[in-house]
A = this chain, B = another copy of it.
């Protein structure tokens, strides 16, 4: 590496991917014949089949020769179907012209940082956060302001913490505030009250609001989800959603970037997204036709999501109970997405931190999960609750045994 010093850009150095970082060790362990339990990747495509009508539409698109570049902004009918979805679910009105189809939500995260962040610019990201938020912010040379969510109140936004974080970065006006609802990694939704107050603060500080709502139909335990689009009327904002979670079509790589407001900022950002989309020519074409069917066929989707959300609910509640019974870990009750974010009671263990926890856990018990520090919250672990109850039971049994082995 020394000979290459200065060769890789500042932005490109030290990209971390805590979710995948143990992939090499895990593959090595599997080669040695261990029975590995992976609860680190939130990919419903591994555990559930993509809905059959989406698969059918995918193949039909190929048969009909829809394999060329589409318009950079995305298939017009799909953009209109995204508009219909928001109107149908939330009564939020915007036109298909105000949607850009991206290669997964991750491409939208990349575009939004390249479009808003000059080196040194700041952005507000609540922690714990989805790891890639920080990756893309840093790739554009941005600096994160990271107010913690409030574990005691079910990981809701704490306005006091938000105020404090902004005050300690006074003089630096953040370009955007990024809200994730439902949250990955906590598996919880934000309260309407907290969202209202947070976006008022964004408005007062001239911050653009971004809301990643990619899990918005995966709700259970009576979770009350409110879209930022419903509350941010008149405030410049961008909504992010896509095919991967609600439609369990991760491998299709389709995201929706929605610019519902007509103010100059929102529309300038939309135009910049379209320019960036033009540079990569087109998102995957058969995938766009497939998602058109996925969104249009609301009856099939309702049936699908009801069934899957019930299954995830039952698995998550089961896993949360077992985690809280270990005596070494505690988790807030989840009510959305498919994650548990559990506090490690390090005072009871002879382990240094969450990093050591996940490294030794993989080596000793062959369970792969993600360290909380990877989400900006040291001292925690994230557990993916997509596997069956039997697998989750075995995983948490191993975690408990691991804790007992390392009891202080």
Chain A interface residues (CB < 8 Å from chain B): 1-4, 7-13, 15-17, 20, 23, 41, 43-46, 49-50, 55, 58-59, 62-63, 65-72, 103-104, 106-107, 110, 114-119, 121, 132, 135-136, 139-141, 175, 208, 249-253, 263-265, 268-269, 272, 275-276, 278-287
Contact = CB atoms under 8 A, between A and B. Distances in A.
B7 A284 contact: no
Contacts of A62: 50, 55, 58-59
Report copies per complex: 2
A39 to B, nearest CB: 15
B67 A50 contact: yes
Contacts of A132: 279-280
A284 B67 contact: no
A253 B103 contact: yes
B118 A7 contact: no
A114 B11 contact: yes
B106 A279 contact: yes
Name, among A10, A62, A282, A283, the residue most crowded by chain B CB atoms within 10 Å (CB to CB). Answer: A62
B136 A279 contact: yes
Contacts of A2: 264
A16 to B, nearest CB: 8
Top 4 A-B residue pairs of the complex, sorted by shortest distance between their CB atoms: A45-B68, A251-B285, A15-B275, A17-B278
A120 to B, nearest CB: 10
Contacts of A65: 49-50
A67 B250 contact: yes
A250 B282 CA distance: 9
A103 B9 contact: no
Contacts of A280: 103-104, 106-107, 110, 132
Given A50-B65, A69-B45, A279-B135, A12 B264 contact: no
Contacts of A8: 115-116, 268-269, 272
A275 B66 CA distance: 31
A63 B55 contact: yes
A253 B284 contact: yes
A272 B12 contact: yes
Contacts of A249: 67
A184 to B, nearest CB: 13
A136 B251 CA distance: 25
A115 B68 contact: no
